[in-house]
Amino acid sequence: MRCATQAAAIVTETAPRSGTLPFSAGERLEYRASFGKLPVGSGRMLLSGRDTARGHDAWKASFTISGGFWPVTVHDSITSWFDSLTLTSVRFAREQREPRYRASKLFEIFPDRQIYKPRDEPERPSVADPLDDVSFVYFVRTLPLEPGQCYELRRYFRPEGNPVVIRVVRRETVSVPAGTFKAILVRPEITTSAIFSDNGRAELWLSDDSTHIPVKLQTSLRFGSINLYLSKVERATRP
């Protein structure tokens, strides 16, 4: 799917201005997970802070979903290493443990050369200022979001996944275990992503304030619908 031409906002900026990021290292978001309406486990989004990738300083962030009920269990984890100013990805990893499916993938991403390299495979063409599944969420949190907007971004590190479409649907009040939030509903579509795929009908509710914290997520994976509800927020004190 694509944005209608008259409504599309083609995002060309490569980085938020320094000091304007709505998150900081140490931010930890905890979620309760349900399979349909059945509680099954938990999720976590963690911006753990400074790390290195190929000898370069980077921020490390991860998103995990764990839980299930016998004999169906799942543990999915995606991890991103990205520049703390531009949010440009330099490494992306995915571990999937799902019913009848297991995968372990690692991608080294080279923004300066516009290529990426899957583990044990040849290099492949990438894009300028690449983002992955995790860094895309943090990047979207920096965008102005108003109902009716539709962003087309061509920054997903695997070119066949572009354009990434971000549809800003409406404002809603959302109640989750962490409290009641004024929120903005967005629908992200990344063709090659397991979490935000075009066929997955993913919906993401972000807090309607300067932080744009993800407070609720609904998405469809191979084995069914997964819902995440924010249960706890931990933020590091800004320097």
**How does pLDDT run across 88-136, given as a tens digit for each residue?**
999 999 987 766 777 889 999 999 999 999 999 999 999 999 999 999 9
Is the pLDDT at 198 greater than 50? The verdict is: no
pLDDT band at 175 (very low <50, low <70, confident <90, very high): very high
Model pLDDT, residue 219: 79
Determine contact, residues 204/212, Cβ cutoff 8 Å: no
Q: Is 181 exposed, middle or buried, given 0-12, 13-18 or 19+ CB atoms closer than 10 A?
A: buried
Is the pLDDT at 239 greater than 50? The verdict is: no
**How does pLDDT run across 12-36, given as a tens digit for each residue?**
444 554 457 899 889 999 999 887 6
pLDDT band at 50 (very low <50, low <70, confident <90, very high): confident
Determine contact, residues 88/82, Cβ cutoff 8 Å: yes
Task: Find tokens 């983002």 and name the residue.
Answer: 131
pLDDT band at 183 (very low <50, low <70, confident <90, very high): very high
pLDDT band at 205 (very low <50, low <70, confident <90, very high): very high
Note the pTM of the prediction, 2 decimals.
Answer: 0.86
* Sequence-separated (6 or more) residues with CB below 8 Å from residue 45: 28, 29, 31, 61, 62, 63, 137, 214
Model pLDDT, residue 114: 97
Model pLDDT, residue 193: 61
Is the pLDDT at 166 greater than 80? The verdict is: yes
Is the pLDDT at 5 greater than 90? The verdict is: no
Residues in the chain: 239
More confident residue, 189 or 2: 189
Domain boundaries, the chain: 8-234
